[in-house]
A and B are shown apart, each in its own frame.
Chain A
Amino acid sequence: MKPAFLASAQPEDTGPSNGLLLRLLSSDGPRSRALAALLVVIVLGLAATPFLFGGSQPLGTAAKICVFIALAASYDVLLGYTGIVSFAHTMFFGIGGYGVAIALDRLGPTWTSVGLGLLGALALSAALAAAIGLLSLRVRAIFFSMITLAVASAAAVLASQMSTITGGEDGLSFQLPHQLRPAFRLFAEPVLGLSINGRVLAYFLVFFAALAVFLVLLRIVNSPFGRVLQAIRENEFRAEALGYRVVAYRTAASVIAALAATIAGGLLALWLRYNGPDTTLSFSIMIDILLMVVIGGMGTLYGAVIGATLFVLAQSYLQVLMGWANTALTGVPVLPDLVHPDRWLLWLGALFIISVYAFPGGIVGHLRRRH
């Protein structure tokens, strides 16, 4: 016998026409025309970026969006689906980055070192996540938030102190495997007006890996395991009473999220050919992830897609807009300081607070409610 909440949460049957796509999405479609359109635009836009825009800056922004979609989605497994707040997500992100960076730096630019580095990082992340979860989720979930904050800050200090291994504050720059270097050409002739060089290949590696991570996470949250996580989020006591071991499930969720974050970190390091404390470990990235997930919409992985895309775009382009407003308002007291290009986080922070109060489902929740 399945408990009632498991049965009732199953999605309704859909026609055979979009069956394959829906299976790929683990029967958890966007359930809103506007959202579906937005997602299609984002995915196609990301896939076509190398063909549409020249130059390295749009490609860099697109790669960052891909990485942060995977990262925010993995965080949403914890925050939105399990209902626990971790501040150590950047630690796992950083472990992934450092794993790849250290392996490529020490063992030379081969695919074997990429694999070894990533595997080592995954093992370390899983062990750490399990240890933190088992130590702190026993008593109450709020311990988890504080302890992850403490552990993450210790990890950040540790990474910047152990400079012989991690490169300290300077971080590590390294060479990529031959196929991912800019000089490499996959075909002699350009495809659709674009010569497929190593940089483009690296972009597509990031794109498809992030897509795969996202689809796997979508599969996990829509599995019976994922339903139990949601049950724990809704009512911890009742889930325990039904016979689910809450600590074990929460710890498992935290390990899964940590593994996905580690992969995202590895991808970012591969793309940047560099890893340092500021790119993956800093607390401000943790705040960025929180903003992405909450503004996009907690408890649905599509929220992570929307949130990450919006946030990275805002990071790159909102400042331009604010600079314009800043010059337009010169002479008015106080206001120019508030719209100074460096104060963009102020407005996203305000949006964040409003989201938590007024739109608990974030943008996705808002789009879905209209139908």
Chain B
Amino acid sequence: MQSQHTVRSYDDELKFLAHKIAEMGGHAERMVEQSVMAIVNADNALAQRVISDDLILDASEREIDDRAITIIAKRQPMAVDLREIIGAIRISSDLERVGDLGKNIAKRVAAVSDTRQSIKVYRGLQTLAELALTQLKDVLDAFASRSIQQINIVRDRDDEIDAMYTSLFRELLTYMMEDPRNISACTHLLFCAKNIERIGDHATNIAETVYYIVTGQQMPPDRPKEDMSHGVVVDEAKRA
């Protein structure tokens, strides 16, 4: 960690931001985890809890914004301090979005629980969520320890999420073709999968922000895109 500022309260203000980010991160992780659990177990009560929990994240994001602006006005931060404050603003907005995505999954629980799908779909969704949450956890750890060792791994692993999402996309499409009664639930599940895939993207954003905070440089843009679902179509031959 950095040595202390001459003005000790400045350190406290920066620590507050970092602490609040960690808190938001834990909260966002929990929301996603529980929303997926609610989908898998058709647990409406849990889904409702997740939905109401989102307010906490929104409030935290606003608090971080307010505090960050006050620090900038009061201290005129330079170099690493300035990057840290701007980084906190960016990360909190990514985490708030993660919470929104979790909430959106929770909202679909009622619609999905009407028709149960093959266990394989839920497993796929769970695995996807686990991958995304590992990403999120790793970038938050990287932020807490101001270390960029893990960051490249995070970015590479985002490709795994994208590939997994594309395969889940194909699978859901197949179920819909097999029986039109599945369409409603499968479409919701598809959105859930998409939401989880987006969480991976937010984790990647956070990784880039942490890289910037630590090094002062932008992360080199060598990021391949593996989400191929935009190219997936119903195979005409298979249908006939």
Does B associate with A? no
